[in-house]
Chain A
Amino acid sequence: MSEPFPAPAVPAAAFRAGPMPRTPVGAAQWVRAAEALGAGAATLASLWASAGEVHMALHDPGQGGVLILSLAVPEGRFPSVARHHPPAQRLERAMADLHGVVAQGAEDVRPWLDHGRWGLRHPLGAREEAGPLPPYPFLPVAGESLHEVPVGPVHAGIIEPGHFRFTAQGETLVRLEARLGYVHKGVDRLMAGASLARGAELAGRVSGDSAVACAWAFAQAAEAALSLTLPPRALALRLVMAELERLANHLGDVGAICNDASFAMMQAHCSVLRERVLRAAAAAFGHRMMRDRIVPGGVAGDLSPAGAAELRALLETVVTRLPPLVRLYDETASLQDRTVGAGTLAPALALRFGAGGFVGRASGRDVDVRRDLAYPPYDVLPPAVPVRTDGDVNARVWIRIREIEASLGLLRLALDRLPPGPVRADLPAPAGAAEGLGLVEGFRGDILVWLALAADGRIARCHLRDPSWFQWPLLEAAAEGNIIADFPLCNKSFNCSYSGHDL
């Protein structure tokens, strides 16, 4: 990544195998990078702060590398990135809440994760006692015959909390503003000073449906920091778990989207299949969601031949039962009438926000970390990456269906080629402080973990960025202009994580 960026991107092969270098920059270079981001020269992968520094991770899909820029902020102020590149906005607001670092020149300086209920301010920076905050000001909307509909944070269904403020003109949605942060758990704070084993547990609990992907990203960062090479069987088992997780979530999502159009039959069938996947996962790996199965250094337990047989039987079941369901989805006119053309996300926006997963791929963003920043074992088992450009709810359903099919293929190959050997490598003794980067494709998209290890091997700072950070704002854009009754459908087709975002 040359001009206007101050250094070339670190290729995937390099940061997958060893510590991730950072490029220290001055304020002027920082601003130039932010401007270049705004001009579309690269994708913002994340933005975070650590003690006395702010960091910007850039990703250039074309060149297959990642670049981390670091700016020292001795006075707790840095030039705003969001001013030039809006996707950074919420990340900057979260940094201000957690660390107290101020983005200078930012237009939106409202708190984001801090709802004034922590009893203190800046929990990761200079902690200070604090009382409640003034009421959160939503963005003003002006116009003829507009009305506001507040929804949440507690919803009628069994879902996570989040507040949505709709402004509607009759049935048409004029503006949607989301407010998140209700499930902030202080993961960053818990990570600081924790052992690697504890960190892996925490990462696996960031977002329940992505337990495998988050834990893998964390383990990857730790292994890169320690320059540890894993036995092939451990990597293959990680792939099996990650694809099972993708399979379960996509099956659940396809059913849930149809259910939000009141087509309960699809959900009934999809739920059965999802349940089969979870039970097979429990039989093969000992936990339905495969939580705590991926640990730094490998995986927690081996896959027995009986477990492998269970998984093969599962693949058979899904392969035979899926096509009739896909036909049912495709041939139910009343359902198609709801999903086609609803919640369209413009490809330009998906590209600008670097939307990962099905959200990006349904809107023409042909990026998959498994292929573009390949990590083993995907380097020898590359996934098929479906892409569409229509960007509506229907497109996101189809991307999921195609990814289910791709996962089934990958799983079969991985099970057939399962290498023998150990499933865990011993972690080397820490040789001083080190930093590593983990980038894993979860079912929602790319999960980034940046990990700084202290000299004693404990975690100094861990930053985990869920794909939802860049998808929530897009949901607001996609919902605009739709009728208000279609919002649940759009929302379910995005299926962003509250927990992973609020951290």
Chain B
Amino acid sequence: MELILGLLVQGGQMLVVLLLAPGLVGLVRKVRARLTRRRGAPVLQPYRDLLRLMKKEVVLAENASWMFRVAPYTIFAATWVAAALVPTFALGLQFSWTADLIAIVALLGSARFFLALAGMDVGTAFGGIGASREVMIGAFAEPAMLLTVFTLALVAGSTQLSVVAAFMASPAVGLRVSLGMALVALVIVAIAENARIPVDNPATHLELTMVHEAMVLEYSGRHLAMIEIAAALKLLLYVALIACVFFPWGMAAAGSGVLAHLLGLAAFLLKLAAGGVLLATFETAIAKMRVFRVPDFLGAALMLGLLGTLLLFVSRSL
């Protein structure tokens, strides 16, 4: 019985993230539009875009290899699995016993790997520029992310997100400087990983300034749809991750009833909306930074993660 419930929750979780991800993107775009005095497209527009792309034919470059065709599905699969591992509305996900935070980082890392390869596959100049920038950003973002994970693991005594979230919701957590540092580091990593301003501009048409968009310029049709939904999933993943670790209120505990799960879902929707609005507001208020400032920006995250971890070690040995 418990297994069935666990599987149900896990299945529901996978469906929820998939269904909500385009909506989050739509919300961020809408808020940005309103903040810049535009009416903006409806929040549901990303769903329509995905449907449209799925119906369209795929235009492939003549010299595209099998890699180019496989990559969108690989990227989508890896990102979806990663997103399924982050507790959104309920703890006690069935998968979380097999995969922890480090697995999430690894899954996202492999998605990045395939995306960068696909960007270079066709051999256009923009794809190469985008891939090189993406890898540069990844080289700083991934260690920062791992250090943040270590901080959390040291505090909670586990790298499993369900355990971390349960611990963070308990009174045992207290007020810790390390956690504050980890939060800031995680937000910085989230911004960089999701190609948001100030690291990248998802709304730009200027190929020379693109990072993520430059890599996927050659994609069309269902391939592009896969890439887009994967990008939306990744954004949702990071919002859910920050919410689950630092704001774990309202989540249904393992083995609780239907009502608790519904409440958990409502709380998650609120958290997502808050995350989306905050992101859009932040993006409107600053300009994009020069490409070579990005390592400084991510370096701050890396140092915060490192300091957080060290602080924990020091305070523990005292």
* Chain A residues within CB distance 8 Å of chain B: 147-151, 155-157, 166, 170-171, 258, 260-265, 267-269, 272, 332, 334-335, 337-338, 483-488
Contacts and interface: CB of A to CB of B under 8 A. Distances in A.
B177 to A, nearest CB: 27
Given A338-B289, A484-B208, A268 B37 contact: yes
A334 B208 contact: no
Contact of A488 (B197, B209, B284, B285): B209
Given A151-B207, A334-B286, A485 B37 contact: no
Which of the listed residues A150, A157, A261 has the most CB atoms from chain B within 10 Å of its own CB? A261
A486 B206 CA distance: 10
B284 A337 contact: no
21 contacts: A147-B128, A148-B125, A149-B126, A156-B205, A156-B206, A166-B208, A262-B288, A264-B36, A332-B287, A334-B286, A334-B287, A334-B288, A334-B289, A337-B290, A337-B293, A338-B287, A338-B288, A338-B289, A484-B208, A485-B209, A488-B206
Interface in B125-167: 125-126, 128-129, 132
A435 B126 CA distance: 51
A84 B35 CA distance: 54
Given A265-B35, A272-B37, A484-B129, A151 B288 contact: no
A386 to B, nearest CB: 24
A268 B203 CA distance: 14
B290 A485 contact: yes
B206 A260 contact: yes
B204 interface: yes
A147 B125 contact: yes
B140 to A, nearest CB: 15
A262 to B, nearest CB: 4
Given A156-B206, A258-B287, A338-B290, A268 B36 contact: yes
B292 interface: yes
B201 interface: yes
Contact of A337 (B38, B285, B289): B289
Nearest to A263: B287
B249 to A, nearest CB: 33
Contacts of A265: 35-36, 284-285
A149 B125 contact: yes
B208 to A, nearest CB: 5
A147 B127 CA distance: 13
Range class of the B interface residue count: 20 to 34
Nearest to B210: A485
Which of the listed residues B37, B284, B290 has the most CB atoms from chain A within 10 Å of its own CB? B290
Contacts of A258: 287
B212 interface: no
Contacts of B290: 337-338, 483, 485-486
B292 A483 contact: yes
Closest 9 pairs (CB-CB, A-B): A262-B288, A268-B36, A263-B287, A156-B205, A149-B125, A335-B287, A262-B201, A334-B287, A261-B287
Contacts of A261: 287-288
Nearest to B202: A262
Contacts of B36: 264-265, 267-268
A484 B126 CA distance: 11
Which of the listed residues B32, B36, B208, B291 has the most CB atoms from chain A within 10 Å of its own CB? B208
Nearest to A266: B287
Contacts of B293: 337
Contacts of A170: 132
B198 interface: yes
A262 B204 contact: yes
Interface in B288-302: 288-293
A270 to B, nearest CB: 11
Given A262-B197, A334-B289, 9 more contacts: A262-B198, A264-B203, A268-B37, A268-B38, A332-B286, A334-B287, A484-B129, A485-B208, A485-B291
A261 to B, nearest CB: 4
B207 A156 contact: yes
Contacts of B129: 149, 484
Contacts of B289: 334, 337-338
A334 B37 contact: no
A260 B197 CA distance: 12
Contact of A264 (B132, B284, B291): B284
Contacts of B284: 264-265
A269 B206 CA distance: 21
Nearest to A267: B36
Contacts of A487: 208
Contacts of B209: 260, 262, 485, 488
Nearest to A164: B208
A483 to B, nearest CB: 6
A157 B205 contact: yes
Interface in B259-318: 284-293
B125 A150 contact: yes
B291 A337 contact: no
Contacts of A166: 208
A4 B307 CA distance: 71
B143 to A, nearest CB: 22
Contacts of B132: 170
